[in-house]
């Protein structure tokens, strides 16, 4: 069983348990549910470099990345650095995240916040809204086209934006629907964990212009970002490159200032 399939099976059990502890009505009473949503897609489009800075403690491919960083400090550091958005991993078992991380992030930034999670159920979308997210992630490789459509439409009905992650042309073809705002090309092969930036370059020409286009995973240099901008990308999701440093906010600041120079 692939790591992605393992995560999805774990997620199914987790969702059923959460539903027993907190009803849909409970989630709708959370503080974040009634707040106005900030547009991640617009934030990316008005900035030349469109960096979505990510907070994550570990990953299946790298194990522990940074177990000591404080969400509050990192998020403030990312905003001060000039990021266009914040991505928060909320999966606990595989990425060391939590819903509390998203709540703290929301309280400490005015930037759009993406809930990065393995979403397979509407419950998780209502939860995202209640926690204060502005956008959700859907992963095409673990969803059928019908689920992509229904989940993205449900998110839009709550005012949330939708980023969908793809790895190949077949996955892209499942996602060309008007309830998707942002299409992200993940450069990491989820079966082998190998990273190849060429994946973004190969797929971008097939993404229609009405979608905001971002590249994800394995981005480490100014040269790569400039090249991908030339290919038509409007945003870049970066986590490990910042989180591996003692001060992720400072690392993001140095990187973004270097891009501007």
Told to judge if 165 belongs to the known catalytic residues of this protein, a careful annotator would answer: yes
State the catalytic residue, choosing from 179, 186, 215, 241: 186
Rg (CA), the chain: 17
Residue-by-residue pLDDT tens, the chain, 261 positions: 588 889 999 999 999 999 999 898 989 898 889 899 999 999 999 988 999 999 999 888 777 888 888 999 999 999 999 999 999 999 999 999 999 999 999 999 999 999 999 999 999 999 999 999 999 999 999 999 999 999 999 999 999 999 999 999 999 999 999 999 999 999 988 777 788 999 999 999 999 999 999 999 999 999 999 999 999 999 999 999 999 999 999 999 999 999 988
Which two three-digit tokens encode residue 239? 């986590």
Told to judge if 234 belongs to the known catalytic residues of this protein, a careful annotator would answer: no
Give the H/E segment covering residue 222: helix 222-231
- Distance (Å, rounded) from C-alpha 11 to C-alpha 82? 33
Burial of 9 (0-12, 13-18, 19+ CB in 10 A): exposed
State the catalytic residue, choosing from 79, 117, 216, 234: 216
State the catalytic residue, choosing from 41, 53, 56, 201: 56
- Distance (Å, rounded) from C-alpha 12 to C-alpha 17? 9
Told to judge if 19 belongs to the known catalytic residues of this protein, a careful annotator would answer: no
Burial of 178 (0-12, 13-18, 19+ CB in 10 A): exposed
Told to judge if 216 belongs to the known catalytic residues of this protein, a careful annotator would answer: yes
Burial of 169 (0-12, 13-18, 19+ CB in 10 A): exposed
- Distance (Å, rounded) from C-alpha 30 to C-alpha 153? 21
Told to judge if 116 belongs to the known catalytic residues of this protein, a careful annotator would answer: yes
Domains of the chain: 3-260 (3.20.20.70)
Told to judge if 58 belongs to the known catalytic residues of this protein, a careful annotator would answer: no
- Distance (Å, rounded) from C-alpha 176 to C-alpha 195? 25
pTM of the model: 0.95
Told to judge if 217 belongs to the known catalytic residues of this protein, a careful annotator would answer: yes
């Amino acid at each position: 069983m692939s790591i992605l399939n393992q995560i999805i099976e774990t997620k199914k059990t987790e969702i059923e348990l959460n539903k027993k502890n907190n009803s849909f009505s409970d989630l709708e009473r959370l503080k974040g549910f009634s707040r106005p949503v900030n547009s991640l897609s617009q934030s990316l489009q008005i900035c030349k470099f469109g960096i979505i800075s990510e907070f994550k403690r570990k990953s299946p491919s790298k194990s522990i990345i940074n177990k000591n960083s404080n969400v509050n400090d990192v998020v403030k550091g990312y905003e001060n650095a000039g990021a266009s958005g914040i991505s928060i991993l909320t999966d606990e078992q595989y990425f060391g995240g939590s819903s509390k991380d998203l709540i703290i992030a929301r309280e400490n930034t005015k930037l759009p916040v993406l809930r990065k999670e393995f979403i397979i159920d509407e419950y998780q979308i209502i939860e995202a809204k209640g926690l204060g997210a502005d956008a959700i992630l859907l992963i095409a490789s673990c969803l059928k086209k019908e689920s992509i459509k229904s989940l993205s439409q449900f998110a839009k009905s709550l005012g949330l934006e939708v980023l969908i992650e793809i790895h190949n042309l077949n996955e892209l073809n499942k996602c060309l629907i008007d309830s998707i705002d942002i299409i992200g090309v993940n450069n990491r092969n989820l079966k082998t964990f190998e990273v190849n930036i060429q994946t973004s370059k190969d797929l971008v020409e097939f993404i229609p212009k009405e979608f905001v286009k971002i590249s994800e995973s394995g981005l480490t240099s100014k040269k790569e970002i400039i090249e991908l901008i030339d290919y038509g990308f409007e945003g870049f999701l970066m986590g490990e490159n910042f989180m591996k440093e003692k001060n992720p906010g400072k690392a993001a600041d140095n990187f973004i200032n270097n891009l501007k120079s």
